[in-house]
């Protein structure tokens, strides 16, 4: 018998809950927790919840991005970046002084690297 991954449990939970009336949510969640206990997966509950949130956002058309900058970004800049990506965008802002300036934007498995650090490295490589 194949073992289910945290993502598989999360997707199953989403599919079960998505059209369920509010008065049945508690019962469905109790049964799901009992299933996790039966399958010895309670220790993975945090990962399942993270996968559930990620999957639910994807199903709702919400794009999650990570913006890394050397210093705090003005809200107007963050809004402009989000609008460029799409309508429903949630941004996590990280600070990393090592990139010197500019920004790195990560969405899914794609990285748009407009950091000064990367531009300097590219210039160095082209000179050598």
Cross-strand pairs, 91: 65
Residue of 97, 96, 101 lying closest to 119 (CA atoms): 101
Q: In this predicted structure, what is the pLDDT of residue 2?
A: 54
Instruction: Report residue 65: phi and psi, to 5°.
Output: -130, 155
Q: In this predicted structure, what is the pLDDT of residue 1?
A: 42
Q: In this predicted structure, what is the pLDDT of residue 124?
A: 87
Mean pLDDT in order along the chain per 10 residues (128 residues): 82 94 94 94 95 94 94 94 93 93 91 90 88
b/e map of 17-30 (b: 16 or more CB within 10 Å)?
Answer: eeeeeeeeeeeeee
CA distance linking residue 15 with residue 83, whole number of Å: 29
């Amino acid at each position: 018998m194949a073992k289910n991954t945290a993502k598989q449990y999360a997707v199953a939970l989403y599919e079960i809950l998505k059209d369920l009336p509010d008065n049945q949510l508690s019962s469905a969640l109790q049964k799901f927790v009992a299933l996790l206990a039966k399958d010895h997966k309670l220790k993975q509950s945090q990962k399942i919840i993270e996968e559930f949130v990620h999957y639910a956002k994807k199903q709702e058309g919400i794009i999650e991005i990570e913006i890394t900058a050397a210093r705090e970004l003005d809200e107007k800049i963050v809004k402009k970046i989000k609008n460029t990506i799409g309508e429903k965008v949630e941004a996590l802002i990280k600070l990393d002084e090592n990139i010197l300036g500019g920004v790195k934007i990560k969405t899914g498995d794609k990285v748009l690297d407009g950091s000064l650090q990367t531009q300097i490295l590219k210039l160095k490589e082209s000179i050598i």
